[in-house]
Structure 1
Amino acid sequence: MSSSRSRGRLGALPLLAFYAVVFGVPAVALVVGAFTVQGRPSLANVSQSLQGGYLTAMIGSVRLSAVVAVLGAVLGTFLAYAVVTSRFTLLRESVLTASGVLANFGGVPLAFFWIATLGNSGVVSGLIGLPSGSLYTFWGLVIVYLYFSIPLMVLSMAPALDGLRPQWREAAANNGATAWHYWRFVALPVLAPAMLGGVVLLFGGAFSAYATANAMVGTVVPLVTLKIASALTGDVLIGHENIALALSLDMVVVAGLVMAIYLPLQRRTSRWLQ
């Protein structure tokens, strides 16, 4: 037994080395650079990243990601439930296939698609009388992000919804439980890990997105990813050349806090999946 474990650990060494190079080295460089100013240890970069326009951009990114995550999770879960419970196999397969495509459709092509459709000179915006510039706002960006977030939530929730056994509903009904009691005490606790994981996934996708927002809103909507790109291209103060690293570290901290909230809840609810 011990020899097999040793061979298993040796087999994992190449993978661990790969992770150390791909993730470990950039993480160390990020932290060191964030706390370094002109070759000396300093908190100036981190302090600067939490002030003025940088702080506004961070708050804007968190707000945008939270709204997209919540709306995408709710709408995606309802759509996934409708697809899973449908009697039409073709509809289920078509929606899941389309979700797999749309979940990976982003960047500049997605921005061009929406601008050509609902932009100032878009094909549809003139027909419905959409106010000029409404797409290039916070809520316009939310709608565009939902375009790939809802399909991603459908893909996350469909397997979990398939795991709901009909016998559980029958057992609940035989014990006098209403539909509300079934969803409150049986179905939702089972689905909670998948739903929470989907929310975290959507939050991370919206929080880290750059190309779509850059092509659509530019500096109209303050986002931390746009600030990082601006800092990398030289739009920084003298002595704060590593401000982009500090902003990136702030993003890592926010993502870590989100995961710190998710993991305890996931452990608490995972017992329903046993």
Structure 2
Amino acid sequence: MTASATVAVAAGQAPARRRRRRSPAPLAAVPLLVFTAIAFGVPAAAMLDGALTTGDPATGATAYGTGNLTASLQGAYRTALLGSVELSATAAGLAALLGLPLAQAVVSSRSRALREAVLTASSVLANFGGVPLAFAFVATLGNSGVLTRRLGLAEHGWSLYSFWGLVLVYLYFLVPLMVLTIAPALDGLRTQWREAARNNGATTLQYWLHVALPVLAPSLLGGLVLLFGSAFAAYATAAAMVGSTVPLVTLQISDALSGNVLVGQENVALALSLDMVVVAGLVMAVHLPLQRRSSRWLD
């Protein structure tokens, strides 16, 4: 066999060997896909089935229909859904405004120990919530809290058990989450961009308005959407603090699951859960493209 023929045969066998080596690779994802289908698909299917199942209070017969979904978008349920959206949007917006300069201060700091300490603390605080967080704020800023009595906040109309009180509590874990989200994007800003802007006579404000913020815009919007989703899904903190004082969809779901509904509307809780899944799906549909767009500039 000639040398050229040998090369041709080797070239033809190389893709075949490559195909044989790569063919088992997709099989490695099968366990993950199966687990995802069981852990998420089965509950989602059960929730959808229950949300579309309506019962007749007189006969007890069940049938498929959109009665539960319609009920979940009316009256007190609609008020709770809009209240959750308003609370989440407000808390997320304030957390983004507070978290961005804090993250920039940490990223631009020359102290590595300070940066690691802040990021570590942010990782802990971003996951700190529920009843312990509610108790901490009640003991501090509640009606008989330490700061409330010392500063006389109650005399000025302050109430922790209100919309703005709940926003303040949510900021406790949303601001650290924003720091963790936006810090990698701030790290990706090139020093050459700042130097080029400075060499062309741009001030620091002009650099941020015309260079840095446009580049960071996808990451900022993605972080804002992530904060919104985190606040929208929070339950334990609000349940322990305000109860039914502030209308929230998560609290309405809890009431419906505990049987605090009219006869025949037992599955309204599942319909409300489906509404939350739709909102979360819209949040992810916005977040993922923004994340891919920001990676083009900052990678």
TM, length-normalised to structure 1: 0.94
| Aligned counterpart, 2:19 | 2
| Aligned counterpart, 2:51 | 34
- Please state if 1:197 is matched with 2:222: yes
Aligned equivalent of 1:100, options 108, 120, 123: 123
Describe the SS at the equivalent of 2:259: coil
Percentage of matched positions with identical amino acids: 66
CA RMSD, aligned part only?
1.7
The answer to whether the 8 A contact 2:219-2:290 is kept is: no
| Aligned counterpart, 2:163 | 138
CA distance in 2, matches of 1:94, 1:272: 28
Deviation beyond 6 Å, 4+ runs, structure 1 = none
Describe the SS at the equivalent of 2:153: coil
CA drift of 1:268 comes to: 4.5
CA drift of 1:124 comes to: 1.2
Letter in 2 for 1:242: N
Range with greater deviation from structure 2 (53-62 or 26-35): 26-35
| Aligned counterpart, 2:39 | 22
User: Which structure has the larger Rg over C-alpha atoms?
Assistant: 2
List gaps (5 residues or longer) in structure 1: none
List gaps (5 residues or longer) in structure 2: 1-17, 56-61
The answer to whether the 8 A contact 1:31-1:249 is kept is: yes
The answer to whether the 8 A contact 1:58-1:223 is kept is: yes
Aligned equivalent of 1:119, options 127, 130, 142: 142
Describe the SS at the equivalent of 1:33: helix
Query: Pairwise mapping of residues 105-254 of structure 1 onto structure 2 (< 5 A)?
Result: 105-131=128-154, 134-254=159-279
Alignment coverage as a number of residue pairs: 274
| Aligned counterpart, 2:106 | 83
The answer to whether the 8 A contact 2:88-2:228 is kept is: yes
CA distance in 2, matches of 1:269, 1:160: 8
The answer to whether the 8 A contact 1:192-1:266 is kept is: no
The answer to whether the 8 A contact 1:193-1:270 is kept is: no
Mark the CA change 1:262 to 1:235 in structure 2 (over 3 Å): closer, same or farther: same
Q: Which has the higher contact order (CA 8 A, sep 6+)?
A: 1
CA distance in 1, matches of 2:185, 2:39: 32
